[in-house]
Structure 1
Amino acid sequence: MKLENLNQAIDLTKKFTQKPSNEELLKLYGLYKQATEGDNVGEKPGGFDFKAAAKYHSWLNLKGKSKSEAEKEYIALVEELSKSYL
């Protein structure tokens, strides 16, 4: 399946019949945030909020990547995941 834009990719993830792994979800989250907001400039979450910390670091690891490159990578990842989760 060839997706043309971020919105199509987001819509396709909502049709997945199984939940992707936590690692895959973190990749999707980081790429989505980088594509839509750019570099992560937020404060690091508190020490015991492990889910928020994982999401924060997933996005932070993409610092410097352009929004358009992050969007392309997000779309490519959704296309790849759709082979397993649709």
Structure 2
Amino acid sequence: MTQAQFDAAVEYVRSLPKDGPVQLSNAVRLEFYALFKQVTEGPVTGSQPWSVQFEARAKWDARHALADMSKEEAMQKYVARLVEVTRESGQPWNPPQ
């Protein structure tokens, strides 16, 4: 897995139109968010948000679950998950070689 492949995957996810053929559920979007943050910032820091702060708490929990994952593993999982999701939608995306 190269940085260029990860960057291409991130750009693809960011460019997906809301009404396009590849529809990402909120759970999948949260998964991509957590993996992206693990690659770019490392493990989550700071205290856990209050449970009434739904979005902030969900993001923190998703990132906290990846605390022991390496940057390289997070990059691999991000790209692999994108390949899986796009194949399921019938619009396969493959990382550049």
Name the TM-score, length of structure 2 as normaliser.
0.74
The answer to whether the 8 Å contact 1:20/1:85 transfers is: no
- The aligned counterpart of 1:45 is 49
Instruction: From 65, 69, 73, give the equivalent of 1:61.
Output: 65
26, 29, 32: which one aligns with 1:25: 29
Aligned residues: 83
Deviation above 3 Å: which 4+ runs of structure 1?
none
Please give the per-residue CA displacement for 1:60-85, whole angstroms capped at 9, x wherever unaligned.
00011101110110011111122227
Percent identity, aligned pairs only? 31
> Aligned partners of 2:67, 2:44: CA distance in 1, in Å?
7
Question: 1:6-43 CA distances to partner (integer Å, 9 max, x unpaired)?
Answer: 21001111235254111111111111111111111122
- Match of 1:31, SS state, is helix
TM-score by length of 1: 0.83
Q: In structure 2, what is the equivalent of residue 6 of structure 1?
A: 6
* Worse-matched range after superposition: 42-51 or 30-39: 42-51
**1 CA distance for matches of 2:5 and 2:40?**
12
CA–CA distance in 2 between the matches of 1:10 and 1:85?
A: 19
Asked which structure has the greater RCO (Cα within 8 Å, sep 6+), the reply is 1
The structure with the largest alpha-carbon Rg is 2
- Provide the C-alpha distance between the structure 1 equivalents of 2:57 and 2:39, rounded to a whole number of angstroms: 19
Cα distance between partner residues in 2 of 1:77 and 1:12: 12
